[in-house]
Chain A
Amino acid sequence: MSTAGPEGANGATTLRNAFGGVLSFFILLLIGVLAFSIRLFSVIKYESVIHEFDPYFNYRVTQFLTKQGIYEFWNWFDDRTWYPLGRVIGGTVYPGLTLTAGTMWWILNSLNIPLSVETVCVFTAPIFSAFASWATYLLTKEAKGVGAGLTAAALLAMVPSYISRSVAGSYDNEAVAIFALIFTFYLYIKTLNTGSLFYATLNALAYFYMVCSWGGYTFIINLIPMHVLLCILTGRYSSRLYIAYAPLVVLGTLLAALVPVVGFNAVMTSEHFASFLVFIIIHVVALVYYIKGILTPRMFKAAVTLVVSVGLVVCCAVVAVLVALVASSPTKGWSGRSLSLLDPTYASKYIPIIASVSEHQPPTWPSYFMDINILAFLVPAGIIACFLPLSDASSFVVLYIVTSVYFSGVMVRLMLVLAPAACIISGIALSEAFTVFTRSIKFQLPGLSLGSQVESGDVTSSVAVAQNSSTAVARNDVAKAEKAQEASKTRPSKKNKKKEKDIVEKESVTPHSDRRHLILPMEASVISIFLLVLLGAFYVIHCVWAAAEAYSAPSIVLTSQSPDGGLHVFDDFREAYAWLRHNTDVDDKVASWWDYGYQTTAMANRTVIVDNNTWNNTHIATVGTAMSSPEKAAWEIFNSLDVKYILVVFGGLVGYPSDDINKFLWMVRIGGGVFPHIKEPDYLRDGQYRIDSQATPTMLNCLMYKLSYYRFVETDGQGFDRVRRTEIGKKHFKLSYFEEVFTTHHWMVRIYKLKPPKNRIRGKTKKLKSKGSSKRSVAGKRNPWN
């Protein structure tokens, strides 16, 4: 290489580039396969089944779409849920996921590959996670380079936080939304780097797909304006910035308004105002730059004074109007969920339903290490690497990670948005570190460089400091590394007094030759590379463990290890829903807590009162009040809602901790929020929640207690509750208004039927007779002619 002529060197470079290209292609293919396969653990361990609660609703909607077609789906009014209110599915669901799965099913079926809708739904998430890792590669390649891109893609394929929401069977919005998020960001960066209107159009269309898929699209439409503002304020305004941003706002707002769920919210809610504000700002800045370009400096100064004096007045007027408009709405125009993101204490004070969802709680510190593992401490190194040098793309990535870290600290569910950012930044950090080490080794291998002895006076050779100092090196240029001749200067070190400067013979002066290169000792580089690979190995082991053990549970089927080593399967939920499906009438109404609404409508095909959509707080509070009231009052409430069956989840026999008794306090709080006669202290003894003999009489008489523990004492003679770890308070009682119709094998789901009202009311007729006779006697005494 060193002695070849320019043509030979070019040929060798082209061959090397081609080889690198093919290698990257195969690496990307393998990353896609990895992303797909690591999510298949639940299919292998259990079966190909839809998990959790929300995916069942999406599955039911997809079934409807594939059976009835898109027009019916768009106009669907669902009367089998939220009885008697119903729900407008077409206008309240984000259609992206269902349309995607429906399209895939339709394509496969038209190719005569007869996959069932359930199979397509189960495997949608792994396929789109493969796409998401490819999109991460593209995004990081735009920001830093191919090496960083491949590393980031490999990290994203395995990161546990993303696996938890996109495992096979988790058919939820995030499965496609994360892919749409990363892809939109990639197209934005690409437009910013190239200034081409074609990519701006694609960017708007990708944003449209994101709006269709997930409510988290507001993150995009607030992050991109923030980045534009950052660029303007740091003096990085360029015409490419205008081309990247302005068409996106106009086209994006229009496309967002097309989706029925968003509708006019795209122009009227505060979540979008940031984009409009920055739209105006960027036009002002563009105008200023244009005028500056065509005027002389003295004239420009005069123009500035004129504009500032006039513009200030106009600005104040406009701002006053806007503030009045926004302040007139009680939530200042923001939706409840967005407010709870901005002010973490908002939900617990005003909206108990949002506060009660376990996904909306703030995460604990260990969950960061569980969910993003080694990325947690590679992120700061990556942030530093992004500043050397700072480009528009790398400033965007830094802004993305900072905002997503804040939001992930508010809600554990948003760790999912942090995961791609962490992968990108860590990919950059790892790639930079590898580059420095391999370059050090390459320059010190005998026979590679032209008789040049390069000795480095490095400060220390420990790995940690080397890693930190290696990120202080200037940006790696892959093509330039091919050329063996480069000038290298060593930094004067404080500890080593000797300064050695060796100037190597240069055949060609490169424009980057004046950059300082830090060449580390050979042994340090080799050990560092080995340790980095070891770090990656630990990451892979953790990710595979997390995917296999922690995040693959379908939660509709439970398993436990029996003492003799076998696997015991708890399939009670499906047993209960199948019983409902086969033993009740099609039009019977089933009441339960809102957690089980989606599963009941999807699997049991019965009308429910409340479900996981939780859009009507009063309706949920009605059910909560009924569960907290004594039998008679509860019967009245349920009868007024035409309920026939009540479904209760009870984990006391087997030790299942997410049962209704554990959720009961939330029922009391939500019910008490709307019906003031339900007071939480009535159910607590000395501030403690108990169900044993020390429990309050209100607690022992409420419907939830009775329905959970009816005949429970017959199981072991003492009524020992395995979850609460005590014996229950009231052991022998009868139900007068409800009758038990079904209890599953492990007593996990119990179904009760409302008893019809009695035909004859004992005791009342006697009273009526006496009242009637007394009336007659009184009337007889009075003089009728007066």
Chain B
Amino acid sequence: MGRSTNKDDAQALFQSLRAAYAATPTNLKIIDLYVGFAIFTALIQVAYMAIVGSFPFNSFLSGVLSCVGTAVLAVCLRIQVNKENKEFKDFPPERAFADFVLCNLVLHLVIMNFLG
């Protein structure tokens, strides 16, 4: 009894997740794609470090943290631009994007300094 209902439940769960996600607006999906790309790049860097070793540790750190940083900032942008979010109802999306660009600028300035 447990197994089959669990499997059915899991399948129903995934299907409902997929359906709910398909309903999100396109601009949010683009941001999600960007976040996924950044995380994927970070994972590749970690795998490379595991193979080759972490010798210029500052380069490794700056590479991984730049990917993670820009992913986090994109998530913040998504939160602020999402129309379903009641707290940011009056927040103009242009302002959110400008903040996103500014924060990324500071992040990458620091990264380039730390890259070594």
**Interface residue ranges, A against B (CB under 8 Å):** 195-198, 200-201, 204-205, 238-240, 242-243, 246-247, 250-251, 253-255, 257-258, 264, 267, 286, 291, 293-296, 299, 302-303, 306
Contact B16–A197 (Cβ < 8 Å):
no
Q: Which residue of A lies closest to B113 (CB)?
A: A258
Contacting residue for B20 out of A200, A250, A257, A295, CB 8 A: A295
Contact B110–A253 (Cβ < 8 Å):
no
CB distance from B25 to the nearest CB of A (A): 13
CB distance from A518 to the nearest CB of B (A): 33
Chain B count of residues within 8 A CB distance of the other chain = 40
List B residues 30-57 near A (Cβ within 8 Å). 57
Q: A254-B61, A295-B17 are in contact. List 5 more A-B contacts (CB 8 A).
A: A197-B96, A247-B103, A251-B107, A257-B58, A302-B9
CB distance from B74 to the nearest CB of A (A): 11
Would you call B94 an interface residue if the criterion is a C-beta within 8 Å of the partner chain's C-beta atoms?
A: no
Known: A197-B99, A197-B100. Is A242-B114 also a contact (CB below 8 A)?
no
Contact B103–A201 (Cβ < 8 Å):
yes
Contact B79–A239 (Cβ < 8 Å):
yes
Known: A250-B68, A306-B13. Is A195-B88 also a contact (CB below 8 A)?
yes
Would you call B4 an interface residue if the criterion is a C-beta within 8 Å of the partner chain's C-beta atoms?
A: no
Q: Which residue of B lies closest to A199 (CB)?
A: B99
* Distance A302 CA – B14 CA, assembled complex (angstroms): 10
Contact B103–A257 (Cβ < 8 Å):
no
Contacting residue for B103 out of A197, A254, A296, A302, CB 8 A: A197
Q: Which residue of B lies closest to A204 (CB)?
A: B106
Contact B62–A254 (Cβ < 8 Å):
yes
* Distance A247 CA – B71 CA, assembled complex (angstroms): 10
By a CB distance below 8 angstroms, the chain A residues around B114 are 254, 257-258
Contact B12–A255 (Cβ < 8 Å):
no
Say whether chain B's binding surface is mostly helix, strand, loop, or mixed: helix
* Distance A223 CA – B69 CA, assembled complex (angstroms): 21
Known: A197-B80, A239-B79, A267-B61. Is A306-B10 also a contact (CB below 8 A)?
yes
List 29 A-B pairs, Cβ < 8 Å.
A195-B91, A197-B73, A197-B76, A197-B77, A197-B80, A197-B103, A198-B103, A205-B106, A247-B76, A247-B103, A250-B107, A251-B69, A251-B107, A254-B69, A254-B107, A254-B110, A254-B111, A257-B58, A258-B114, A264-B58, A264-B61, A294-B24, A295-B16, A295-B20, A299-B17, A302-B9, A302-B10, A302-B12, A306-B13
CB distance from B13 to the nearest CB of A (A): 5
Contact B65–A250 (Cβ < 8 Å):
yes
Contact B76–A246 (Cβ < 8 Å):
yes
By a CB distance below 8 angstroms, the chain A residues around B72 are 246-247, 250
Contact B13–A299 (Cβ < 8 Å):
yes
CB distance from A181 to the nearest CB of B (A): 21
Q: Which residue of B lies closest to A296 (CB)?
A: B16
Would you call B85 an interface residue if the criterion is a C-beta within 8 Å of the partner chain's C-beta atoms?
A: yes
Contact A195–B62 (Cβ < 8 Å):
no
By a CB distance below 8 angstroms, the chain A residues around B91 are 195
Contact A294–B17 (Cβ < 8 Å):
yes
By a CB distance below 8 angstroms, the chain A residues around B96 are 197
By a CB distance below 8 angstroms, the chain A residues around B76 are 197, 200, 242-243, 246-247
**Closest A-B pairs by Cβ, 5 of them:** A197-B99, A294-B20, A250-B69, A302-B9, A239-B79
A247, A254, A294, A306 — most chain B CB neighbours (10 Å): A254
Q: Which residue of B lies closest to A205 (CB)?
A: B106
CB distance from B38 to the nearest CB of A (A): 11
* Distance A242 CA – B24 CA, assembled complex (angstroms): 21
* Distance A303 CA – B15 CA, assembled complex (angstroms): 12
CB distance from A216 to the nearest CB of B (A): 22
By a CB distance below 8 angstroms, the chain A residues around B6 are 306
Contacting residue for A198 out of B21, B61, B62, B102, CB 8 A: B102
By a CB distance below 8 angstroms, the chain B residues around A247 are 69, 72-73, 76, 103
By a CB distance below 8 angstroms, the chain A residues around B77 are 197
Contact B13–A302 (Cβ < 8 Å):
yes
By a CB distance below 8 angstroms, the chain B residues around A246 are 72, 75-76
Q: Which residue of A lies closest to B16 (CB)?
A: A299
Known: A253-B65, A254-B65, A294-B21. Is A201-B12 also a contact (CB below 8 A)?
no
Contact B99–A196 (Cβ < 8 Å):
yes
Contact A251–B20 (Cβ < 8 Å):
no
Contact A195–B87 (Cβ < 8 Å):
yes
By a CB distance below 8 angstroms, the chain A residues around B17 are 291, 294-295, 299, 303
Contact A240–B61 (Cβ < 8 Å):
no
* Distance A255 CA – B103 CA, assembled complex (angstroms): 13
* Distance A302 CA – B76 CA, assembled complex (angstroms): 28
* Distance A303 CA – B58 CA, assembled complex (angstroms): 39
* Distance A253 CA – B100 CA, assembled complex (angstroms): 19
* Distance A150 CA – B75 CA, assembled complex (angstroms): 37
Contact B79–A201 (Cβ < 8 Å):
no
* Distance A181 CA – B88 CA, assembled complex (angstroms): 29
By a CB distance below 8 angstroms, the chain A residues around B87 are 195, 238-240
Contact B12–A299 (Cβ < 8 Å):
yes
Contact A257–B61 (Cβ < 8 Å):
yes
By a CB distance below 8 angstroms, the chain B residues around A239 are 79, 85, 87-88
CB distance from B17 to the nearest CB of A (A): 7
Contact A243–B79 (Cβ < 8 Å):
yes
